[in-house]
Structure 1
Amino acid sequence: MFSELRVGIVGGGGWLGRSIGAAMLEKGVLAPAGLILSSRSGRVEGFDAWPEVRLTMDNRQLAQQADIIVLSVRPEQFAAVEIEATDKLVISFMAGVSLDTLVARSGSRRVIRAMPNAAAEIGQCYTPWFASEQVTAADKAFTQAMFESCGGADEVFAEADLDYLTGLVGSGAAYPALLAEAMLAHALARGLPRQVAENAVRGVVVGASQLLGRDGMPPAAMVQAMLDYRGTTAAGLQAMIDTGFKQAVDAGLEAAAAAALRMQSRYSKASN
């Protein structure tokens, strides 16, 4: 689809960079010869089927060779990343690193911030992204195709929305895992065998939640339908609601959003 492009992923040996790179090749978004991966070890697992993929330990070399530079490193590692990306598209996966900081550090004004998560590894990642004014229509088309190769994506039109979604979407499986952990602990405390308890919880959190897919019933409608049925599910739901389930979720998302803003301030100062 974009066979003429050369895309370099800084941090291509990490789980996220590796997953998205492989997804682009599997879905034909990019030709194998057009993918460049940087890794501190000089080795990246999972690309044996595509020997044309290039590997490097030199981020500057990657930036020189690539048309598009993807920053898939932890925010605290960004200060050590040295690239010159003038007139190139830069796509950042880093939480809390603002558009202004990315422009100042990379030398490019064509910058996109995005927030994929661990579900990219299984093709179930939802990625919101935000673009600077200088990003072109062609840049946006590639970005959308890249993220759709491992799930779905939407452009958002305010950086504040991307910062909020950092706490909501960037969590990946963490929030469902917290629910699963609480349910599993309760089942084990009631004396269920571990295997039965784990299978039951996985069936609820992973299996039955597929009903909330894009074509499924809206969450509020499903909750209300279960409450109206007035059965065991209704009793469980009502007790969770009365105990403050929604307030706990609100507090968690507010805390995550506040952390994203603190990170943005910290990394902005670090770049000056």
Structure 2
Amino acid sequence: MSAFVGLPGSITLVGAGKMGAALLQGWAAQGLSGEGVAIVEPQASREVTALAAARGFRLNPPTRAPAEALVLAIKPQMLDAVAPSLVADAGPDTLVLSILAGKRVADLVARLPAAKMIVRAMPNTPASIGRGISGAFACPAVDDGRRGLASALLGAVGEVEWIESEALIDAVTAVSGSGPAYVFHFVECLTKAGVEAGLPEEIAARLARATVAGAGELLRQSGDLSPATLRENVTSPGGTTAAALAVLMAEDGLAPLLARAVAAARRRAEELSG
């Protein structure tokens, strides 16, 4: 079914909104196809519908057999409404891979009592182009085989960082799960600042987008060089970059602002538990 060694022979994806679709697109881009994939999404987008048809995935099948992997990608607030229809899908041998922000292993067991092999993970939307990163936690009952399945599913769309404490998943959510939105907003702000400096909006937008995309790729390809070193490499003493960084690195600058943003996202993830 897939070119990826270790992917399960059957997958049920519950939820194909932004994140679920990103995972699905990432899997498909790497060759995943076949009727072994079932998608449960009553409001499937045209893109998901077309992808299912092209790849032979079963979209909202009237019946489905328990899959080796049950991937939960619904909104956390929908868990109570959806869980009763999933009880038969989550047996003691099923890998339950949850990307529900804030919903803990105990929350999932309370709704899916037969489930034992539960992995909580938080990918991010660059998964849709194979450049995502996921933080993942496996509950103690998860064996090496199911952990390998989770690594294959998440690794097909990007990097995977395993963490040893479930409590850290909320921090992962706040840093990398929500992080792409922070970067996109930075591009918006940089564009606006360029316009206020006198640039035409179209040019400011292209400059900001290309700058952030290029800087990100430079960071990716720079090996062991730290972000601080890269920053220093582009900063001449007394120059224009140094003048700007004096604002961004001030006591009330970017660092404390991001710290507050990440803390707010983590608090919200904690509020979604239960």
TM-score range, shorter chain: 0.7 to 0.9
What is the alpha-carbon distance in structure 1 between the residues aligned to residue 198 and residue 161 of structure 2? 44
Quick check: 1:113–1:130 contact (8 Å CA) kept in 2?
Answer: yes
* C-alpha distance in structure 2 between counterparts of 1:37 and 1:171, whole Å: 24
Q: CA deviation at 1:102?
A: 0.8
Q: Please give the secondary structure, in 2, of the residue aligned with 1:69.
A: strand
Please say if 1:92 is aligned against 2:98. Answer: yes
Match of 1:198 in 2: 205
2-structure distance, mates of 1:166, 1:224:
29
Alignment coverage as a number of residue pairs? 259
Matched with 2:67 is 66
Q: Distance in 1 between matches of 2:144 and 2:231?
A: 40
Equivalent in the alignment of 1:79:
80
Aligned 1:137-148 pairs, distance under 5 A: 137-148=144-155
Note the 1:83-122 alignment, pairs <5 A. 83-84=86-87, 85-87=90-92, 88-107=94-113, 108-122=115-129
Q: Distance in 2 between matches of 1:46 and 1:31?
A: 10
SS of the counterpart of 2:269? helix
Deviations 1:216-269 (A, max 9, x none): 4311222233346542212211221114211111111111111111222xxx1x
Query: Using a 3 Å threshold, how does the CA distance of structure 1 residues 177 and 4 change in structure 2: closer, same or farther?
Result: closer
In structure 2, the CA distance between the partners of 1:135 and 1:148, relative to structure 1 (3 Å rule), is same
In 2: Cα distance, 1:194 partner to 1:150 partner = 34
Q: Contact (CA 8 Å) 1:39, 1:57: kept in 2 or not?
A: no
Q: In the alignment, residue 46 of structure 1 is paired with which amino acid?
A: L
TM-score between the two structures when normalised by the length of structure 1: 0.87
Matches within 5 A, 1:152-167: 152-167=159-174
1:16 equivalent among 10, 16, 19: 19
What residue number does 2:268 align with?
A: 259
Give me the TM-score of the superposition, normalised by structure 2: 0.87
- CA drift of 1:57 comes to 5.4
Gaps of 5+ in 2: none
* Aligned mates of 1:247, 1:134 — CA distance in 2: 39
CA 1:163/1:92 → structure 2, altered by over 3 Å: closer, same or farther?
same
Give the CA RMSD over aligned residues: 2.1
Task: Tell me whether 210-219 or 112-121 shows the greater mean CA deviation.
Answer: 210-219
Q: Which of 124, 137, 149 is the aligned partner of 1:130?
A: 137
Given that 2:6 and 2:148 are in contact with CA atoms closer than 8 Å, whether structure 1 keeps it comes out as: no
1:46 aligns with 2:51: yes
Percent identity between the two aligned chains: 28
Once the two structures are superposed, residues 104-154 of structure 1 have per-residue CA deviations (whole angstroms, 9 ceiling, x without a partner) of: 211202101110122112221111111111111111111112112111111
Q: Hey, what does 1:35 align to over in structure 2?
A: 37
Q: State the alpha-carbon separation in 1 of the partners of residues 220 and 239 from structure 2.
A: 24
CA shift in 2, pair 1:17/1:74, >3 Å: same
Q: What is the CA–CA distance in structure 2 between the aligned matches of 1:186 and 1:215, rounded to whole Å?
A: 28
Query: Cα 1:124–1:257, aligned 2, differ >3 Å: closer, same or farther?
Result: same
Cα distance in 1 for residues equivalent to 2:170 and 2:6: 29
Q: Partner amino acid for 1:95?
A: A
Q: Deviations over 1:54-110 (max 9, x none)?
A: 22256xx44x43121111100011111121112111111110101111112112021
Give the Cα separation in 2 of the matches to 1:125 and 1:260. 20
Consecutive unaligned residues of structure 1, counting only runs of 5 or more, are none
Structure-1 separation of matches of 2:28 and 2:145: 19
1:184 & 1:162 partners in 2: Cα distance? 32
Q: Does the CA-based 8 Å contact 1:75-1:97 persist in structure 2?
A: yes
Question: Which secondary structure does the structure 2 equivalent of 1:187 belong to?
Answer: helix
- The structural deviation recorded for 1:25 is 3.7
Aligned to 1:7: 11
